[in-house]
Amino acid sequence: MVSTGATVQAGEDIAHLGSGASVHVALRSADGPAAPRLVRPEYAAGWLALTADPAPLLGLPAGSDRTRERDLLDRRGAAFATVQEHYYANPPRIERGWRHHLLSTEGRSYLDIVNNVTPLGHAHPRVEEAVSRQLRRLNTNSRFHYASVVEFTERLAGLLPDPLDTVFLVNSGSEAVDLGLRLAMGATGRHDVVALREAYHGWTYASDAVSTSLQDNPNALATRPSWVHTVDSPNSYRGRHRGADAVRYGPEAVAVIDDLAASDRPAGAFIGETFYGNAGGVALPDGYLAEVYAAVRRHGGLTVADEVQVGYGRLGHWFWGFEQQGVVPDIVCVAKAMGNGHPLGAVITSKDVADRYRDQGYFFSSTGGSPVSSVVGLTVLDTLRDEDLQGNAVRVGGRLKRRLEALADRYGIIGAVHGTGL
Ligand SMILES: Cc1ncc(COP(=O)(O)O)c(C=O)c1O
């Protein structure tokens, strides 16, 4: 059945349908009842018993069997450590995605508003085609000479303002943050780092050291190494200073940075998300990063921006979170959206900072910037541009926000509507 209400019989040509038409395909035996187009989940098992199994059509394994599903969960539990959690207590088995939809083996489709690494949506044909082509040709590493790594590096550098022109390619956000911190330490010759509370920056040694979120790790503040110094989370909604009082966070952070310098431990780096992704998509108070960056630089330190979650166009109005704050960091760490789910990360800094890393030894990542990764990175950037997905984040995010704000006007239980873009 097409969206106009016309019915297409089996074997009929549907090539004449316009590109915006949606096609509803139902398989049923000739003498079976016509299943409704949508049913409530509690009736799904009954209707599925009366209709043909749609799973193979969706590219899913045939016939969901609850005993087998339980077995799979138990096997995962046995092979995984308990710290590797699921999103859900009773997770649906998701084996297929298309654009912003996820499909479970029980035949339910979900709108994916959890996943923050797939700005192009799931199973994008352009990525699939580019990756398969490259996998058929070659996948080596960046010590070999090939065009895609040069093109991708130039494209990334071109997305950043001067003097950020030098790129290191890695495989994840944790690696990017780790390297970003090590670049700052190498360039300044200092080990002390100032980080925001309520932050998550990754799982490697250094990125975990600056991760202070009590929600992720209830012992975080008590167990940070001595080179990590934290400042209050500048959260204008849940923090110590709320609403207009949030302007007080900047001077307080500056005082911590000044005190460190006065006690002969000037910070080598300040690291923070440029828009509070981990704390719920809350913008930092206006002028916050300008004040903090100036203080760090006054004492000879460098500023590291974690754009892993909020950067790459997701904010809609800004490609990078630091643009919203009107600052330019010394080191930018990015990942997640860059690869649309493929492991990709990068650190972008100035030639000057990058060159000082030479004294630390050397840098090589076996798969960071491989031909396949570079092709993925280029294809994601092309598609973001060609499908105007940053513009889409402005439009759809704006509409979502307006509608949520209207709900907040009506229901006192909604405390605030944060965020920008998607
Ligand atoms: C702000 C931020 N930084 C760093 C990371 C670590 O990235 P990855 O999981 O790719 O290692 C995350 C991951 O959630 C993040 O949200």
The reply to whether 179 and 68 lie within a common domain is: no
The reply to whether 354 and 404 lie within a common domain is: no
333 - beta bridge partners? 306, 347
Q: How many domains does the chain have?
A: 4
175 C-alpha vs ligand 1 centroid, how far in Å? 9
Is 392 part of a structural domain of the chain?
no
334 C-alpha vs ligand 1 centroid, how far in Å? 9
Ligand 1 surroundings by CB, under 6 angstroms: 172-174, 177, 200-202, 273, 277-278, 306, 308-309, 335-336
Q: Which of 16, 32, 52 is the last residue of a domain?
A: 52
CATH of residue 331's domain is 3.40.640.10
The reply to whether 296 and 188 lie within a common domain is: yes
The reply to whether 46 and 57 lie within a common domain is: no
Is 128 part of a structural domain of the chain?
no
The reply to whether 284 and 415 lie within a common domain is: no
Report whether pLDDT(11) > 70: no
333 C-alpha vs ligand 1 centroid, how far in Å? 10
The reply to whether 222 and 156 lie within a common domain is: yes
Mutate to test the pocket of ligand 1, among 116, 197, 201 (most ligand atoms within 8 A of CB): 201
Instruction: List, for residues 73-127, the tens digit of each pLDDT value.
Output: 999 999 999 999 998 988 988 989 999 999 888 778 899 988 889 999 999 999 9
The reply to whether 264 and 408 lie within a common domain is: no
Residues 173 and 198 sit within 8 Å (Cβ to Cβ): no
341 C-alpha vs ligand 1 centroid, how far in Å? 13
Atom 9 of ligand 1, nearest CA residue: 173
Is 271 part of a structural domain of the chain?
yes
360 pLDDT tier (thresholds 50, 70, 90): confident
pLDDT value at position 47? 82
The reply to whether 259 and 209 lie within a common domain is: yes
Kindly state the percentage of the chain with pLDDT values over 90.
Answer: 71
Ligand 1 nearest-atom number relative to CA 173: 7
CB atoms within 10 A of CB 5: 6
Instruction: List, for residues 263-282, the tens digit of each pLDDT value.
Output: 999 999 999 999 988 878 89
The reply to whether 314 and 369 lie within a common domain is: yes
Is 14 part of a structural domain of the chain?
yes
Is 210 part of a structural domain of the chain?
yes
Is 127 part of a structural domain of the chain?
no
308 C-alpha vs ligand 1 centroid, how far in Å? 6
Segments forming the whole domain that contains residue 20: 1-52
Is 206 part of a structural domain of the chain?
yes
Q: Which residues lie below 8 Å from residue 323, measured CB to CB, with a gap of 6+?
A: none
The reply to whether 82 and 175 lie within a common domain is: no
pLDDT value at position 2? 32
- Spatial separation of the C-alpha atoms in residues 346 and 338, rounded to whole Å: 9
Burial grade of 297 (CB within 10 A; 0-12, 13-18, 19 or more): middle
The reply to whether 211 and 335 lie within a common domain is: yes
Lowest mean pLDDT among 14-28, 33-47, 78-92, 402-416: 14-28
351 pLDDT tier (thresholds 50, 70, 90): very high
Is 391 part of a structural domain of the chain?
no
The reply to whether 70 and 46 lie within a common domain is: no
Report whether pLDDT(150) > 60: yes
- Which letter, b or e, does each residue of 314-335 get, where b requires 16 or more Cβ atoms within 10 Å of its Cβ? bbbebbbbbbbbebbbbbbbbb
